[in-house]
Amino acid sequence: PLYHQLKTLDANSIEAQVRSRPETEILLLAVDDDPLTLLNLTRILGSESRQIITAENGKQALQIALEKRPEMVITDWRMPQMDGLELCMALRQETTTQHTYIIMLTGAEADDELVQAFDAGADDYVVKPFTPKVLEARIRGGERLIRYQRKINRDREVIQKYAVRLGVANRKLHTMTDALTGLPNRRNAMARLKDVVAESSRYGEKLSCIMIDVDHFKNINDTHGHDNGDLVLKEVAQIFSKNARSYDMVSRMGGEEFLVISTRSDREESLQLAERLRAAVEKHVMELGGGTVAQVTISAGVASWRDEYANGGELIKAADDALYRAKKNGRNRVET
Ligand code: GH3
Ligand code: MG
Ligand code: MG
Ligand code: MG
């Protein structure tokens, strides 16, 4: 599911990153105890797209393989110290080399030997004495697999990177959003307020706050249950969002309290907005579970930025005081 999400989310940039990576050469380890065969192998296999390193027996090969991690190993079978079969098995056992592509050079093409080689972990075999053309062809087959494996690894790396970014973004979103209403939460609103207050005091931009509280919300919970109370909060949040303008930030401060941070609005404009919100809530019929309906009202307090204010907290405090007056003066009203 995550993979799908990523695909739809950012398929283009994933593809672009994968494509932009240069294909580098393939590291190939040739192993044979016969120096002449080894020399031959390096000559035959020499290519711009490959780098070839050599070893004289299985033991040395294993050591080199663990250190240099070649993507392909071509190994002789019979060698002193450690033969090709043992090398195969050893490579398959180490996590760093377990996916190495291994070609065994075998003697006579005896069925039992072939089975033995594949059982030991060989991916392919070439019968000695080998025809250069055939050896080259089989190596190309192996290289196709190696390049495919590389692509898969790159894709996975990119996807993992995006998964991490997505996770970070999700967590950030999570900490900035109120879970019930989907609105920015208090922390988010306070960060925003700090920013816009800085702008207002520097450039004299208009800025107002509307503090809103649902009236007698405790009664709604008591009458219709807590779940229906939640529904009401969600509906109210939607009414606010729908009626606010693009440069108003509607947030949930907690409980049944909401804050609208209104840039480009003076007191008069914000009073109008608050009144619009109040009227919209008043006329809206909330449909609750079980076919019941409820009607709620809100009270709101409006305050606008003034140079005497030292910070956003004082602006909020002024809006809070106005809200208190709205409650005292009978609720379902706006004060400033
Ligand atoms: P007032 O008109 O003076 O604001 O009265 P009120 O009943 O709205 O105010 P009060 O502060 O007494 O009650 C607020 C209630 O809101 C109490 C609390 O249980 C409830 N409440 C707070 N958060 C939530 C919530 O997330 N969901 C629900 N359903 N209720 C909540
Ligand atoms: Mg040999
Ligand atoms: Mg309250
Ligand atoms: Mg209330």
Ligand 2 centroid from CA 124, angstroms:
18
Predicted local distance difference test score (pLDDT) of residue 23 = 61
Question: For residue 215, how far is its CA from the centre of ligand 4 (angstroms)?
Answer: 5
Place of tokens 């020399």: 39
Ligand 1 within 6 A of 213 CB? yes
Residue 307 pLDDT: 86
Return the structure tokens found at 17.
Answer: 């990153």
Residue nearest to atom 21 of ligand 1 (CA): 255
130-163: b (≥16 Cβ within 10 Å) or e: beeeebeebbeebbeebeeeeeeeeeeebbeebe
320 C-alpha to ligand 4 centroid (Å) = 12
Strand partners, 249: 261
- Both ends of the chain: CA-CA distance in Å? 51
Residue nearest to ligand 1 atom 12, measured at CA: 218
Mode of pairing for the β-strands spanning 257-263 and 72-76: unpaired
Q: In 251-311, where does DSSP find H-type helix?
A: 267-283
> How far is the centre of ligand 2, averaged over its atoms, from the C-alpha of 60 (Å)?
14
Peptide bond into 129 cis (omega under 30): yes
Q: Is the CB of 216 under 6 A from ligand 1?
A: yes
297 lines ligand 1 (CB under 6 A): no
* Residue 224 · residue 233 · CB < 8 Å: no
How far is Cα 264 from Cα 205, in angstroms, rounded to an integer? Answer: 7
Structure tokens at 232: 């009401």
The angle subtended at Cα 83 by Cα 82 and Cα 84, nearest 5°, is 130
CA distances from 208 to 205, 263, 319 (A): 10, 6, 9
pTM of the shown model: 0.66
Q: Which residue has the tokens 């249950």?
A: 225
- Candidate from 178, 212, 214, 217 with most ligand 1 atoms within 8 A of CB, to mutate: 217
**Closest ligand (CA of 58):** 2
178, 214, 256, best to mutate for ligand 1 pocket (most atoms within 8 Å of CB): 256
Question: Can you tell me whether residue 255 is helix, strand or coil?
Answer: coil
Give the ligand with the smallest distance to the CA of 216: 1
DSSP class of residue 285 equals P
Residue 256 Cβ inside 6 Å of ligand 1? The answer reads yes
Q: What is the pLDDT of residue 180?
A: 97
From CA 248, how far away is CA 192, in angstroms rounded? 11
Would you say 182 and 274 are in contact if contact means Cβ atoms under 8 Å apart? no
Per-residue pLDDT tens listing for the chain (336 residues):
344 444 443 444 444 433 433 467 899 999 999 999 999 999 988 888 889 999 999 999 999 999 999 999 999 999 999 999 999 999 999 999 999 999 999 887 788 888 999 999 999 999 988 899 999 999 999 999 999 999 999 999 999 999 999 999 999 889 999 999 999 999 999 999 999 999 999 999 999 999 999 999 999 999 999 999 999 999 999 999 999 998 899 999 999 999 999 999 999 999 999 999 999 999 999 999 888 999 999 999 999 999 889 999 999 999 999 999 999 999 999 999
- Measured CA to CA, the distance from residue 303 to residue 98 in angstroms comes to 69
